[in-house]
Amino acid sequence: MENTQHFLTGYYRDSVALMQLSSKLAAQEGIASASAQMATAANLELLVNAGLLDQVVPARPNDLLLVIRASTAEHGQAAFEFAKKTLDEKPSGGGPEKPEPPRSVEMALSAHPESNLVLISTPGEFAAAEALKALKQGLNVMIFSDNVSGAQEVMLKTYARDHELLVMGPDCGTSLIGGVPLAFANVVAAGAIGVVGASGTGIQQVTCLVDALGEGISHAIGTGGHDLSEEVGGITMLSALDLLAHDNNTEVIVLLSKPPARSVALKIIAAAKLVPKKVVICFLGAVEQLDGSNLSYARTLEEAAMLAVGLLRPSRKLSLTGRLVREKNQLDPHRTKGFVRGLYTGGTFCYEAQILLQSALGEVYSNIPTKGVKKLPDLWTSVGHTILDLGDDVFTRGKPHPMIDPSTRNERLLKEALDPQTGLIFFDLVLGYGAHEDPAAGLVEVIRQARESAHKGGRRLEFVGFICGTTKDPQGFEKQASTLRGAGVILAQSNAHAAEMVQYLVTGRLL
């Protein structure tokens, strides 16, 4: 028998607690008997009487005395360690209670240690700090907020890259990770096409069209709109590309961007070339391409979706060619007089429309002009052919984004209708989580008013629109579509399709 005694300082415990500890100790393997007591004179005497102590030792009433009688020294030591651990143990709660709501990432993580992503939609000035705290605790980040400085974006993304983490955003409107929609996302089928996009609406358009073509999405990773700038250098797109390259559920990868910085576009294409999967690249407005057997280039978002589906299912014969030839009987180009006005809620759609229409229409104006398009001098008054991104900060100041609150676009639409030069208005209608619950209903009401005011002026207005959404979206694709059709809107399948129709209606020429 090994008999050991340990005096522990700084462990005052109630006698009931110590009786519990004694009985737990005695139940340990190889322990014949054990006692945990405050070493008062009275307790020491009891221990001697109980035969646990050979003789009375000097009392140390403020110290805890452990007496352990074990079959071997190892068992004795193990029991001692157990006692120490039990004494130092944290509490497991004190009965029924309402948990403290987490106030910080640190608190939330300690209550939910399995967390792997922090989604940030605070005012922009606070977003970088929250993101940094998350990254430092090993969490991936999606920053929906905008107004984060370029320097902060680079700081966050560099940290993330060095620690094998992902920063989606800032200004990242959409992601879809393993079927889980983050922020403004559509409900799309699961599948084998992975998307990385420096464009929220671009991702929405491609994922919705893939869904409409009967295929699905593995993951759609938003990088934020500035990722492919010179300053940021595509850090997130490169990381996301690498993740999808290694992802077993992803067979074909689509890379999307609003007009990127040239050097960054080339860097990403070079990285894509090394990926052992088919990669479709749709960098709007970028002309340079590197050849690669696994690379395909798409001029439009719609084409990107179609190429991806085609690469995944080579047996499917998909083509956009000739679409308008088949449809042109229903379109009457001679009815459209005057200029076109594009009123977009999605910035990428606005870029894409400018790129598709500028050569056919000649002089085009925009608040976010791409190469060859003119800056609209007064953003509140359209001139000639004007294509606007109404989600731009200048239009939304103090108001929610027009995808959420359509009033900005509705007002502008009525204003365009009053302009005797306006002949055609075209627009996007974005569905999905985060978007307005029934955007078509309000829009057709405004379209009716617009037609009426044009009619009074002896004019006729044409409306062309398309819905970015799926049949599974909460707003219901069919319901939205029939509402628009009921108001005489010519409905396209995509933004590119809408642009083709606009061009045909105005010029009588096919793209």
Partner 1 sequence: MNNFLTSKTQVINIGLASFSPPIRSHGGTSVDLEWRPPAEGNSASGLALAQLMSDGKINAANQVALERYQAAQPILVGVGVAREELKGLGPRMLLHSGPPIAWENMCGPQKGAVLGAIVFEGWASTLLEAESLVAHGEVKLDACNHHSAVGPMAGIISPSMPVWIIENTTHGNRSYCNMNEGLGKVLRFGANGPEVIERLVWMREVLGPTVKSILQHLGPVALGPLIAQALHMGDEVHNRNAAASGLFFKKLTLAGLEILAKLDARKLKDTLAFIAANDHFFLNLSMAACKVMLEAADGVENSTMVTVMARNGVDFGIQISGLKGRWFTAPAPFVEGLFFSGYSQLDAARDLGDSAITETAGVGGFSMAASPAIVQFVGGTPADALANTRRMLQITLGQNSAFTLPALNFGGCPAGIDVRKVVDSSILPVINTGIAHKLAGIGQIGAGITHAPLSCFVKAVEALALKGVN
CA atoms within 13 A on the CB side of 248: 0
Q: Hey, what are 219's tokens?
A: 């993951």
**Stretch (H or E) spanning 43:** helix 41-49
C-beta of 107 vs 270, nearer to partner 1 = 107
Footprint on residues 164-203 left by partner 1 (CB under 8 A): 164-166, 177-183, 185, 187
Per CB under 8 A, 97 contacts partner 1: yes
Q: Report the residue from 29, 81, 125, 231 that binds partner 1 according to the rule CB under 8 A.
A: 125
Q: Which of 426, 403, 423, 439 shows the shortest CA–CA distance to 492? A: 426
User: Does 106 participate in binding partner 1 (rule CB under 8 A)?
Assistant: yes
147 φ/ψ sector (left φ>0, alpha ψ -120 to 50, else beta) = left
The answer to the question of residue 316 lying near partner 1 (CB under 8 A) is no
Report, in Å, the least distance between residue 272 CB and partner 1. 18
Q: Does 123 bind partner 1 (CB under 8 A)?
A: yes
Q: CB of 179: closest distance to partner 1 in angstroms?
A: 6
Nearest distance from C-beta of residue 505 to partner 1, angstroms: 37
Does residue 377 interact with partner 1 by CB under 8 A?
A: no
AA identity, residue 377: P
Q: CB 317 → partner 1: shortest distance, Å?
A: 31
Count of chain residues binding partner 1 (CB under 8 A): 80
Binding residues for partner 1 restricted to 407-436, rule: CB under 8 A: 433-434
Q: Give residues 130-169 in contact with partner 1 (rule: CB under 8 A).
A: 130, 132-134, 136-137, 139-140, 144-145, 152, 164-166
Least CB distance from residue 133 to partner 1, whole Å?
A: 5
Q: Kindly tell me which of 345 and 483 has the beta carbon lying closer to partner 1.
A: 345
What is the rounded CA–CA span in Å between residue 238 and residue 233? 9
Question: Under the criterion CB under 8 A, does residue 437 sit at the interface with partner 1?
Answer: no
402 binds partner 1 (CB under 8 A): no
Residues in the chain: 511
Hey, CA dihedral for 370, 372, 374, 375, is it positive or negative? positive
Contact between 66 and partner 1 (CB under 8 A)?
A: no
Applying CB under 8 A, the span of 22-30, 111-119, 363-371, 416-424 interacting with partner 1 comes to 111-119
Q: What is the DSSP string of 389-453?
A: ETTSHHHHTTS--TTT-THHHHHHHHHHHHSTTEEEEEEEEE-STTS-SSHHHHHHHHHHHHHHH
Residues 215-274, interacting with partner 1 (CB under 8 A): 218-219, 239, 243-244, 246-249
* Stretch in the footprint of partner 1 (CB under 8 A) among 104-112, 295-303, 361-369, 482-490: 104-112
Considering the complex, state which of residue 433 and residue 460 has its C-beta at the smaller distance from partner 1: 433
Spatial separation of the C-alpha atoms in residues 133 and 130, rounded to whole Å: 5
Closest contact distance (angstroms) between CB of 427 and partner 1 is 24
Residue closer to partner 1, measured from CB, 174 or 382: 174
Q: Shortest distance, CB of residue 29 to partner 1, whole angstroms?
A: 25
Of 110-118, 197-205, 371-379, 446-454, the segment contacting partner 1 by CB under 8 A is 110-118
Q: Which of 52, 79, 83, 105 binds partner 1 (CB under 8 A)?
A: 105
Which segment (114-122, 257-265, 303-311, 445-453) binds partner 1 by CB under 8 A? 114-122
**Cβ nearer to partner 1, comparing 179 with 476:** 179
* Complex with partner 1: residue 66 or 132, whichever CB lies closer: 132
Q: Count Cβ atoms within 10 A of the Cβ of residue 288 and give its class: 0-12 exposed, 13-18 middle, 19 or more buried.
A: exposed
Q: Tell me: does residue 372 bind partner 1 (CB under 8 A).
A: no
Could you give the strand order of the β-sheet that contains 385-389, starting from the edge strand earlier in sequence? Answer: 374-375, 364-366, 385-389, 339-344, 422-430, 462-468, 490-492
**How many helices (H) does the chain have, and how many strands (E)?**
17, 20
Q: What are phi and psi of 418, to 5 degrees?
A: -75, -20
CA distances from 284 to 208, 287, 364, 448 (A): 18, 9, 17, 34
Considering only 1, 51, 55, 92, the residue that binds partner 1 (CB under 8 A) is: 92
Per CB under 8 A, 87 contacts partner 1: yes
- With binding defined as CB under 8 A, does residue 103 bind partner 1? yes
Buried b (16+ CB within 10 A) or exposed e, 205-215: bbbbbbbbbeb
Among 382, 462, 385, 452, CA closest to 426: 462
Among 34, 44, 47, 120, binds partner 1 (CB under 8 A): 120
Judge contact between 343 and 379, C-beta under 8 A: no
Question: Of residues 5-44, which lie at the interface with partner 1 (CB under 8 A)?
Answer: 9-14, 17, 38
Angstrom distance (rounded) from CA 305 to CA 205: 8
Strands 252-257 and 190-198, bridge-based pairing:
parallel
For partner 1, which is the closer residue by CB, 77 or 86?
86
